[in-house]
Structure 1
Amino acid sequence: MEFINQLLESTEINGQTATLRLLLSFFVGMLVGLERETHNQPAGLRTHILISIGATIVMLISIFIPQTFANFQNGDPGRIAAQVVSGIGFLGGGAILKFGANVKGLTTAASIWAMAAIGLAVGAGMYSISLIGVLVVLFALTIMNFFEKRFFKERTLRKVEVTIKKKHTNLKALKDIFKTFDVKINSTGFDRNVHEATDKITFLVGVTPFLNVQQLADELEKEPGIVTVLVEIIQ
């Protein structure tokens, strides 16, 4: 037990302290990686472990060089580590996927960046901060995810096109129907066909997974002057 305490308190980078920090880095990376893996994210278990270990190694090198080589006594240990903060953004960008108007992977990209910071902290021997950091990250990814889904409904974007005879156009009535079905209107487009005397109104809306599209279309068709109703998923 005394040996472990000595390793934890030691500021010297040697084989034993480096091994301890790399093992701890592997552990914290695995915790966050497992959470992302359960959500089928593009950056999962192995990615987070490698990021954490890589950042830890960079931090170990940053401390080891000025500590070991006399010619680098005035070196700044933070210079190499600082490149991780900016460089990890390129890797995080690869986890962000765009599906039409929908963007996925922002949370995973943020967890990658946070994991790199935690890895640097482990490499610097900031054990308490590292463990608190990984606990906060896990809390944000799990408990806050439940809170977010509970109080902020998950919505997907859909486009609803309604063609209606010009004299019967009533935007307020259409918006009231959307409100009844808990459909959030993001934007509204208007296109008038003079020759056919019709108006085509395009709604970009956010809908919940529980929306019954057929019932929504049936309700819209009840409005006077409705010619066609088109509902499609934005991909």
Structure 2
Amino acid sequence: MMLSIYVCQETVGLLRGDPSRIAAQVLSGIGFLGAGTIIQMKGSVRGLTTAAGIWIIATIGMAVGCGLYLIAFVATLLVLFVLTILEQIEHRVNVGNEARTIRLKVKGIVKSIEPYRDVLARYNIHLSRVYVEYDYEASTTRLNLLILIREHSDFIEVFSALHDLRPTISISLSNQADLS
């Protein structure tokens, strides 16, 4: 941050520099690096927290560079609170829940996910994300339903209810990371 001021004073002889120029370029560059940490894989996005962390650390570093130590300290405490305490609270709220993927291959092209959402809600299953793949040539739809469910749930009734919605070629349950 101070480099912007000193470069102008030392090289050009100006008394005042423009510290916002380097700050803007630092944020752009860090944003570019953060974008590199974000990975999109089969409809699932990973690395957003890492990218946001890199960006906020750069801004805290710039605050320190400007001599704004109190702001940098408070921002650091807020980041630590969000990344540690709120994460622990989130895990406590979801204790006993497992993230899973129900994979369906059905005949025809599914135009609405609502009937599937209704069936899952009837069995107290939280649907967090839906990934859809259409095969127009074979006239089939693949549905990957990312769910949160209580451990030791019985899926026989759930699968039967999902099957009753439309002719189903296959249905399976897998870990959340398995979206293939």
User: TM (normalized to structure 2)?
Assistant: 0.67
Normalized per residue, the structure richer in helix is 1
Alignment check: 8 A CA contact 2:130 2:146 kept: yes
Unpaired runs of 5+ in structure 1? 1-58, 165-170, 193-198
Matched letter for residue 99 of structure 1:
M
Q: Of 32, 37, 42, which aligns to 1:90?
A: 32
Alignment check: 8 A CA contact 2:126 2:148 kept: yes
Q: Of 154, 161, 170, which aligns to 2:105?
A: 161
> How far, CA to CA, are the matches of 2:36 and 2:171 in structure 1?
34
Provide the secondary structure at the position in 1 that maps to 2:146: strand
- Partner residue, 2:71: 129
- Partner residue, 1:205: 145
Q: CA deviation at 1:140?
A: 1.2
- Encode CA deviations 1:33-86: one digit per residue, 9 max, x unaligned: xxxxxxxxxxxxxxxxxxxxxxxxxx2322433455671213212212221111
Q: Of 159, 170, 174, which aligns to 1:229?
A: 170
Matched letter for residue 112 of structure 1:
I
CA RMSD after TM alignment: 3.9
- Partner residue, 1:114: 56
Alignment check: 8 A CA contact 1:183 1:205 kept: no
Q: Which 10-residue stretch deviates more, 143-152 or 71-80? A: 143-152
Q: CA deviation at 1:229?
A: 2.9
Matched letter for residue 171 of structure 2:
L
Unpaired runs of 5+ in structure 2? 109-113
| 1:155–1:98 Cα change, 3 Å | farther
- Partner residue, 1:105: 47
User: TM (normalized to structure 1)?
Assistant: 0.54
> How far, CA to CA, are the matches of 1:108 and 1:207 in structure 2?
24
Normalized per residue, the structure richer in strand is 2
Q: Which 10-residue stretch deviates more, 176-185 or 95-104? A: 176-185
Larger Rg: 1
| Matches for 1:184-223 after TM superposition, within 5 Å | 184=127, 186=130, 202-208=142-148, 215-216=154-155, 219-221=158-160
| 1:201–1:212 Cα change, 3 Å | farther
Alignment check: 8 A CA contact 2:40 2:46 kept: yes
